[in-house]
Amino acid sequence: DAGVIQSPRHEVTEMGQEVTLRCKPISGHDYLFWYRQTMMRGLELLIYFNNNVPIDDSGMPEDRFSAKMPNASFSTLKIQPSEPRDSAVYFCASSPTRGLSYEQYFGPGTRLTVT
Amino acid sequence: QKEVEQNSGPLSVPEGAIASLNCTYSDRGSQSFFWYRQYSGKSPELIMFIYSNGDKEDGRFTAQLNKASQYVSLLIRDSQPSDSATYLCAVMNTGFQKLVFGTGTRLLVSP
């Protein structure tokens, strides 16, 4: 059974460019989360979806960030324009709803470097 | 005050010893508690979770909850060098799917 899939695994871009990160959640999971991890701030939740609907985007740092989930098997996180301070590892995670079971399973992450 | 706090470490223990990792949380409404292990350069991996109704043991790992003092602990018995990683504590509040993560404790198990 495939886990959460993310692409690309590494992205290097210049300041001002648009960056799109992609995620395929585990089949059957109805929650999807986007996180950002840096040494300084640790793991931060950016946004999460339930059944493809954005539920909480309070962690999105600013309007340069946007996320979509057009269907149950695909989500994107877009940064436009990118800035050096956006450099981080971005993780996607998914979770099923089984009673009280809310375990989140993480993808391998995308390491973003903005120069 | 941070919502979830952990000592950054490193916590160094010899092989075969018990490693004890702790985490404190600020929201008394928290109901579910999770421990993730993250190897360097890898993604967080769920190893244990407990709900507000008790402790849990799984192999060499035991998660304990002290609601009165608002802390969660993870005990690793017979620690192995392969346990060397950063351990992230995460807390979820009732009615929400959001996990709030601590910044992690780095564990080093020496042979």
CB B108 within 8 A of CB B10: yes
* pLDDT tens readout for residues B55-86: 899 999 999 999 889 999 999 999 999 999 99
| Residue A100 clears pLDDT 80, i.e. is over it | no
- Mean pLDDT of all residues in chain A? 93
B81 preceded by a cis bond (ω within 30 of 0) = no
Question: What is the predicted pLDDT for the residue at A1?
Answer: 63
Q: Hey, what are B30's tokens?
A: 């928290």
CB of B51 less than 8 A from some CB of A: yes
A74-89: average pLDDT: 97
User: Which has the closest alpha carbon to A21: A61, A85, A62, A74?
Assistant: A74
Which residues in chain B touch residue A56, judged by CB atoms under 8 angstroms apart? 98
* pLDDT tens readout for residues A2-27: 899 999 999 999 999 999 999 999 99
Instruction: Please answer yes or no on whether A106 and B92 come within 8 Å at the CB atom.
Output: no
Question: What is the predicted pLDDT for the residue at A111?
Answer: 98
The ranges of chain B with pLDDT < 70 are: 1-2, 53, 94-96
DSSP 3-state assignment of A19?
A: strand
- The CA distance from A103 to the nearest CA of chain B, in Å, is 8
Question: What is the predicted pLDDT for the residue at A73?
Answer: 95
